[in-house]
Amino acid sequence: MTSRIEQETIVCFNEAESSADIETFNGVLTRKLARLSETRPGEVTEITDAFRKRDGAVRYTFPKKWLRINPSRLLSDEEKERRRMNAQNMHRK
């Protein structure tokens, strides 16, 4: 069994190709990628070898354009307080 620290998620791509590879032990990603490979087989393909699958990892290829870095919005203290008050008001209704 692979230790938790060794259970990485690795995304690889290069500038020449339009696809990326992902290797992961993450359960949420594994299930999502499996569903996508069923519903969008022309775009998402499992390429896991038998050794890695036995180890618990899966590997898929998918369109590189799907990659995103999506940081959360920075809110001012005033905006946080306004949202907190709105949420409290919604619970009271």
User: Could you give the 3-state DSSP secondary structure of residue 38?
Assistant: helix
Q: Residue 89 to residues 25, 66, 75: CA-CA distances in angstroms?
A: 41, 38, 20
pTM: 0.76
CB 24 within 8 A of CB 58: yes
Q: Locate tokens 């230790």: which residue?
A: 3
Q: How do the domains of the chain map onto residue ranges?
A: 4-68
CB 51 within 8 A of CB 26: no
One pLDDT digit (tens) per residue for the chain, 93 residues:
788 888 999 999 999 999 999 999 999 999 999 999 999 999 999 998 877 777 889 999 999 999 999 999 999 999 999 999 999 988 776
